[in-house]
């Protein structure tokens, strides 16, 4: 059995599994490994300090795989934003054919990518945002349930409701994101109306993920309760792994007169990068989702993807095939 969907056809990949863009993690080693295993690997543009560094990272990834891979460009409001247009041009100049956009007001970037024939996947956390992105002309949507790592939005709608709600209205192919780690999740996503899954935290706990082994073991040892929601009072909710730093952010944020400057020293990207690269689990924020409760080992990307697909195929051919359709309903045998 082959799990062929509109996502596999659109992206030119073997399996309907995509690696999400992740700051400091979405580097060539991981992206190439995912693509070589039949999924879609994703570089993270802003992990690279300059647009020229991104060009070099794209070249490095291309030297590691001859299969499709993409680049994530996340647009966030900032006092001193990075040169998004220059990163965008680096992606275009490098001949990248697939881009994942996310964040604030992406229209300028979507239009520029589409004008060059680039396939655009836009990541959303609400049905209304997905419909807006569809009107912009994106080719696919990645819909993030409340379980996800990163920024799950402010509506707090879990994937079990959000995915089918989006599938009812979105017409372009859709990836389900947030809480996916195994074949059960892939089958569930397909049943809910998605045509593939997007995984972030699960790919952090793989051999090829360019982060410290102590962080990978941390994700394996945690369970689904081991996350904190931060930035809620600032309207930019983030889900991160529970550690002393995120506990301190939650505690400080609970004071009625707290402003962002009170927590800024704790949440800097530089501190998070230190945690990932050194294995000091209390050096900074570690972004992770509730899917930690489904992570039990650190396989290679090839073994992980093969296992997910094999499990999904077995579920479809076995347990689900045991349900026989009858004239006025379903008979379970």
Check if the beta carbon of residue 173 is closer than 8 Å to that of residue 197. Answer: no
- For residue range 63-79, list pLDDT tens digits in order: 999 999 999 999 987 77
CA distance 191 to 184: 11
pLDDT score for 2: 76
| 271: pLDDT strictly greater than 50 | yes
**DSSP-derived pairing of the beta strands 119-124 and 197-199:** unpaired
Higher-confidence position of 80 and 218: 218
Q: Which CATH class is domain 6-210+296-314?
A: alpha beta
Phi then psi for 95, rounded to 5 degrees? 75, 20
> Residue 326's pLDDT band (boundaries 50, 70, 90)?
very low
pLDDT score for 1: 59
Mean pLDDT for all residues in the chain: 95
Average pLDDT over residues 310-317: 95
| Strand order from edge to edge, sheet including 17-19 | 17-19, 197-199, 174-177, 140-144, 119-124, 98-103, 69-75, 41-44
Local structure of 96: helix, strand or coil: coil
DSSP 280-324: -TTSS-----GGGGG------HHHHHHHHHHHHHHHHHTTTTTEE
Count Cα neighbours of 272 within 13 Å in the Cβ-side half-sphere: 18
Domain residue ranges of the chain, discontinuous segments joined by +: 6-210+296-314, 227-278
- For residue range 124-170, list pLDDT tens digits in order: 999 999 999 999 999 999 999 999 999 999 999 999 999 999 999 99
| 331: pLDDT strictly greater than 50 | no
Helices (H), the chain: 6-11, 28-36, 51-64, 84-93, 107-115, 127-136, 159-167, 183-192, 201-204, 213-221, 244-253, 260-263, 269-278, 301-317
Percent of the chain with pLDDT over 70: 96
Check if the beta carbon of residue 199 is closer than 8 Å to that of residue 19. Answer: yes
DSSP 165-197: HHHTT--S-EEEESS--SHHHHHHHHHHT-SSE
Count Cα neighbours of 329 within 13 Å in the Cβ-side half-sphere: 3
CA distance 198 to 175: 6
Check if the beta carbon of residue 288 is closer than 8 Å to that of residue 240. Answer: yes
pLDDT score for 323: 67
CA distance 238 to 80: 20
Residue 313 contacts by C-beta under 8 Å, 6 or more apart in sequence? 1, 3, 183
Give per-residue burial for 159-169: e unless 16+ CB within 10 Å, then b.
beebbebbbee
């Amino acid at each position: 059995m082959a799990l062929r969907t509109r996502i596999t056809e659109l992206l030119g990949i073997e399996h309907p599994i995509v690696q999400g863009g992740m700051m400091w993690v979405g580097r060539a080693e991981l992206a190439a490994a995912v693509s070589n295993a039949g999924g879609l690997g994703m570089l993270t543009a802003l992990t690279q300090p300059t647009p020229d560094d991104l060009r070099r990272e794209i070249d490095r990834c291309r030297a590691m795989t001859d299969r499709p891979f993409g680049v994530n460009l996340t647009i966030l409001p900032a006092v001193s934003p990075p040169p998004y247009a220059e990163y965008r041009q680096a992606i275009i100049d490098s001949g990248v054919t697939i881009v994942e956009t996310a964040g604030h007001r992406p229209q300028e970037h979507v239009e520029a990518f589409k004008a060059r024939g680039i396939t655009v996947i836009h990541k959303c956390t609400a049905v209304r945002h997905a419909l807006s992105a569809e009107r912009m002309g994106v080719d696919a949507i990645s819909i993030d349930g409340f379980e996800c790592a990163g920024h799950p939005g402010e509506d707090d709608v879990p994937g079990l409701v959000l995915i089918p709600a989006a599938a009812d209205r979105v017409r372009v192919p859709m990836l389900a994101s947030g809480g996916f780690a195994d074949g059960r999740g892939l089958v569930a996503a397909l049943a809910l109306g998605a045509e593939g899954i997007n995984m972030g935290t699960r790919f952090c706990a793989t051999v090829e993920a360019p982060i410290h082994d102590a962080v990978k073991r941390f994700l394996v040892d945690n369970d689904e309760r081991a996350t904190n929601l931060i930035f809620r009072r600032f309207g930019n909710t983030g889900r991160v792994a529970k550690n002393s730093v995120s506990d301190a952010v939650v505690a400080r944020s609970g004071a009625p007169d707290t402003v962002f400057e009170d927590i800024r020293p704790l949440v800097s990207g530089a501190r998070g990068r230190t945690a990932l690269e050194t294995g000091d689990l209390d050096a900074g924020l570690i972004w992770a989702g509730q899917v930690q409760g489904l992570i039990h080992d650190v396989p290679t990307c090839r073994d992980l993807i093969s296992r997910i697909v094999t499990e999904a195929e077995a579920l479809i051919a076995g347990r689900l095939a045991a349900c026989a359709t009858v004239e006025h309903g379903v008979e379970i045998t």
